[in-house]
Amino acid sequence: MPIREITGYKTSRDYIKLYELAQTQSIICMCNFGEGRARDICRTIFDGNLMEISARGTGYVGAETIKAFIKQCKRYDVEWVLPEAKSIKPNLKDELIKRGF
């Protein structure tokens, strides 16, 4: 039987936190694709206006507002890997801690 589950990592589906954090660094994500239980390993890309989640040229999420971003993340059941606190850029770290990250 094929092993498909990605386990042992701290992940989240808090799309507001993902949107905020991805404005300072690229974040590893997993998205549904195709039929069945297939998942793709992706990353965030932010150009100052457009927030994207993509893998190998396949765009899953592309949004200019947080509302559109959350809607698209739900559509693809985006799950993201929580970075270690020490890897979060200092200017955002204190703010995220205040918000419960």
Q: Where are the domains of the chain?
A: 11-98
The model carries a pTM of: 0.78
Nearest in space to 13 (alpha carbons), one of 33, 25, 31? 31
| Residue 60: predicted pLDDT | 92
| Segment 7-40, tens digit of pLDDT | 778 899 999 999 999 999 999 999 998 777 788 9
| Residue 90: predicted pLDDT | 59
Phi/psi for 48 (5° steps) reads 100, -15
| Segment 73-95, tens digit of pLDDT | 999 999 999 987 665 665 665 66
